[in-house]
């Protein structure tokens, strides 16, 4: 049985798969996905690229930040914890009814508010980092003794 690839190898192969996905689209969706990816790397240089769920690009940092799904009429960025993120520029325009996720659908010809999207990517990474730190601190905290024990 073959060993699992090292984390750096897995990231490289995921990046290559995302490159291939962008090339294969060869239309406005590929260009949009490439632009989103570039903005993600500008906002969160330490982001990890993954490919899950039958080829969907996923960007992670202490957990999933967002996915980059492509459909015939839209490129959809689904933020795993979008409902917990500030969205002062009103970028979220899809999946608004849930308690956890939020999404942004980009259609052909639509402009992307790049500064606001970079800020949203950074907020998602900061939120995940904060949650991870809180979880780690909670795990390390000594158990409280009950009175009379």
- Distance between CA atoms of residues 72 and 107, nearest Å: 9
- Distance between CA atoms of residues 149 and 115, nearest Å: 56
Q: Which of 118, 31, 24, 20 is nearest to 66 (CA)?
A: 118
The length of the chain in residues reads 149
pLDDT of residue 136: 78
CA end-to-end distance (rounded Å), the chain: 51
Q: What is the model's pTM?
A: 0.82
Contact indicator for 81, 61 with CB cutoff of 8 Å: no
Tens of pLDDT, residues 38-66: 999 999 999 999 999 888 999 999 999 99
Tens of pLDDT, residues 74-85: 999 999 999 999
Q: What is the mean pLDDT of residues 17-37?
A: 94
Structure tokens at 120: 């949203």
Q: Which of 102, 83, 85, 106 is nearest to 94 (CA)?
A: 102
Structure tokens at 125: 């990474």
Tens of pLDDT, residues 81-125: 999 999 999 999 998 888 899 999 999 999 999 999 999 999 999
């Amino acid at each position: 049985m073959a060993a699992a690839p090292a984390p750096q190898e897995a990231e490289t192969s995921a990046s290559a798969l995302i490159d291939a996905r962008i090339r294969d689209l060869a239309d406005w969706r590929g260009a949009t996905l490439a632009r989103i990816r570039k903005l993600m790397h500008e906002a969160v240089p330490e982001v990890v690229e993954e490919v899950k769920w039958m080829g969907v690009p996923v960007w992670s940092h202490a957990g999933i930040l967002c996915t980059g799904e492509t459909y015939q009429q839209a490129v959809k960025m689904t933020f795993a914890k979008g409902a917990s993120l500030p969205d002062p520029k009103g970028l979220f325009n899809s999946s608004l009814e849930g308690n956890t996720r939020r999404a942004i659908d980009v259609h052909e010809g639509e402009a992307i508010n790049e500064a606001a999207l970079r800020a949203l990517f950074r907020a998602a990474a900061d939120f995940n980092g904060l949650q991870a730190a809180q979880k780690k601190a909670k795990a390390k905290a000594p158990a409280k003794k009950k009175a009379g024990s």
